Chains A and B, each alone.
Chain A
Amino acid sequence: MTAPAPPGLRPDLAPIVGMIEPGSRVLDIGCGDGELLEYLVHRRQVTGRGMEIVQEGVNACVARGLSVIQGDADTDLSDYPTAAFDYVVLTFTLQATRDPRQVLAEMLRIGRYGIVSITNYAYWPLRLGLLLRGQMPTAEVDGVAWHASGNIRRCTIVDFETLGAELGLSVDRRIGLGRRHPDGRLPEVRCLPNLRACQAIYLLHRDPGS
């Protein structure tokens, strides 16, 4: 079980906070309205920067006093210098990019560590739904029909780890999370995560020499 989320922080963001050293430099790609970034800046004393594609999100962030630019993970990461950050965070954004392979490579060029969260499309109720109903998963994941979902690159925990290995990335930590409890907590799944976790959060770094 993960610890209860800190007050005011979304439960799925809490494990990410735990992966980040206080006082480090963090780039949050797809930072939304800045909830994670604000928490990190104010409670973990990080030097935080953000990128967000949706204008309302950017404005919300800047109005919170955060340094955030409007940008697209697929095209704008090349503007950042190498090793500019300690951590580059990508929460539920990787599967919405056109070229996740390139985005991952860029992340670990810009940052020493990458933190990525993904939706696990091998979660057993999704498998069952596909088997029995013959339909793509919706409600179990983001509640959005296949044609409306931003996740255009759907993958499983096994798929993601295969790509990571191809790119020479090492997994420092993996946290599988199960279905949300009624009280909002997200239980950690340690056993058979590709079957039993509906999402996974990774702390990655690039192997030296790769």
Chain B
Amino acid sequence: MNAPTISEDRPQDTVRFGRDAPLRLDCGVALDGLAIAYQTYGELNAARSNAVLVCHALTGDQHVASPHPLTGRPGWWQLLVGPGRLVDTRRFFVICANVVGGCQGTTGPKEPDPTTGRPYGLDFPVITVGDMVRAQAMLLDHLGIDQLFCVLGGSMGGMQVLQWASAYPDRVYAAVPIATAARHSAQNIAFHEVGRQAIMADPDWRDGKYLEFDVRPRAGLAVARMAAHITYLSEPALHRKFGRNLQDRERVTYGFEADFQVESYLRHQGSTFVNRFDANSYLYITRAMDYFDLAAEHEGVLAKAFARTPVRFCVVSFSSDWLFPTAQSKAIVRALNAAAANVSFVEIQTDKGHDAFLLDEPEFHATLAGFLNGCAERRGLPGPA
């Protein structure tokens, strides 16, 4: 295979695997004809040692550092990834792939089922974080990359990072799980269930076959997004941003329009989300997160998931993140210590909640830069320009 020599503005790639290379899912199904849509930035070096895999969160996608083709908005982690940025695409070959079950080109419930020609809908098999990572490993094989210099991601992306380090310790040099957990808590599952029920309660959901009727469960998906969005913020951040301010009016209207700015904001979040995201994908991906429990796969002992790991870890949490609180990160760190792993851990003080990992948090960025540069030095990769 030729080394991918890829320029900064290369359009997205999609790799399709043949029937000889099915993705073997945790549920027992072998998924034939897997397609993975991915973006790359920068160039792979001759030693193939500078690859960085960015794992996206629940509603993210492969457009990490370039404008989104549907919304035109900047890449979701453009603050961190790009030329001269912290994850410098002039030094690193950055890969970001849409997860299996997603809706941006990778095989998922909105893609046609080869056996019927119609969209999978709920006939799509239930997928797991382990399946997402197994699919990414197939992509790396396709790209001819044996070992990643670093795999990093926040939230569900962080779950994938942990899964990567646990399942493929020899293929990961450094791992950065951010604002994440080694298992989904009852509270996390509860919020996801609210979102799923909102989608399924929408009459336009049509038992998951909405694409065949050319309708979309827009209202249900919007409510799911609105509820989830609250969990990504913190009470102080909401208060700072909106308080009890009214939206374009002097006084309350004694009705149910969006009197308050926070209502208007959430409605906007919901309505823009439905233009770029598939409702069934939302069901499948939230389910994958709910099923994630790394210790359960290792006799209930998380440390066993990392036994004798050579991977260097940098675990990051945010003080006001109540969706993936610091205690969850500390549980990961405890397990890594028990496995005598090479681990750093920081809790960043911020009032921005779970979403802080996507935002301008100088202390977080300084920490990450220090970790990446220290690892790059040990790996013999060039330092920052």
Contacts and interface: CB of A to CB of B under 8 A. Distances in A.
A84 B340 CA distance: 7
Interface in B357-384: 363, 366-367, 369-371, 373-375, 377
B29 interface: no
Contact of A64 (B314, B337, B338, B370): B370
A62 B367 contact: yes
A138 interface: no
Contacts of B340: 81, 84
Interface residues of A, number: 20
Interface in A141-161: none
A70 B363 CA distance: 15
Interface in B143-166: none
B346 A59 contact: yes
A147 to B, nearest CB: 26
Contacts, number: 62
A24 interface: no
A59 B363 contact: yes
Interface string B329-355: 000011001101011111111000000
Contact of A62 (B314, B337, B338): B314
Interface in A57-93: 58-59, 61-71, 76, 79-81, 84
B312 interface: yes
A48 to B, nearest CB: 10
B343 A69 contact: yes
Given A55-B347, A69-B345, A70-B347, A63 B366 contact: yes
Nearest to B339: A81
B244 to A, nearest CB: 32
Nearest to B342: A67
B366 A59 contact: yes
A65 B343 contact: no
Contacts of B348: 59
Which one of A55, A62, A80 has the highest number of Cβ atoms from chain B below 10 Å of its Cβ?
A: A62
A65 B377 contact: yes
Contacts of B344: 58, 61-62, 66-69
A65 B346 contact: no
Contacts of B338: 79-81
B251 to A, nearest CB: 44
A65 B370 contact: yes
Interface string B296-319: 000000000000000010110000
5 contacts: A55-B346, A59-B363, A63-B366, A65-B375, A80-B338
Interface of B: 312, 314-315, 333-334, 337-338, 340, 342-349, 363, 366-367, 369-371, 373-375, 377
Interface of A: 49, 55, 58-59, 61-71, 76, 79-81, 84
Given A59-B367, A76-B334, A79-B337, 15 more contacts: A58-B346, A59-B363, A59-B366, A62-B346, A63-B367, A63-B369, A63-B370, A65-B370, A66-B374, A68-B345, A69-B344, A71-B333, A71-B345, A80-B337, A81-B340
Q: Which 7 interchain pairs have the tightest Cβ spacing?
A: A65-B374, A63-B370, A69-B345, A79-B337, A79-B334, A62-B344, A62-B367
